[in-house]
Structure 1
Amino acid sequence: MRHRDEKITMLGRELELLMSERQTLLQVVGASAALIASLDSSLLPEGAVKSADLVASRINALPDETLRDALAAVHAEIEEEERAVST
């Protein structure tokens, strides 16, 4: 019984760690989405445009619910027509 309790405790800690990491990743994604949405690609150096495009394509691949969670994590809003983040 003790071994089972230890496993349950260990799984609980792992779940807490994963949830904390998820929150951090949501904050990074939310901040990145807000940044990318505000960029004017015509003013960026070519290398930055490529990086912004890579970030934008990964953000666009996220499910809508995940993107909403990410934006909420940083208290950011992106207008609906800007949902297709592009540079």
Structure 2
Amino acid sequence: MIKFNYMQEVEEWLAPLTYEEFWRETDPNGLQSEDRDHYDCEIARGIPKATILTVLKGEKRLEIIAEQDLKCRHPHDEMLLH
């Protein structure tokens, strides 16, 4: 898994990923094939792929933030004088 410095980096990494790219990037070895199969079935049942992708990205974002104990990147950190 990629090492991030801030929460926003996770969001920026996940944002452009398509459904296929999401699985390739977050599960390169196919270890979550049962999860993938479940979501593929839900798509086949009629749940929009975009909806599922939004949920998957949100869950993955929270998971990575918790695992790596990431903090928010403050836009003014570079300007701090102390």
TM-score (norm 1): 0.25
The structure where helix makes up a greater share of residues is: 1
Structure showing greater relative contact order (alpha-carbon pairs closer than 8 Å, 6 or more residues apart): 2
Structure whose CA Rg is larger: 1
TM-score (norm 2): 0.27
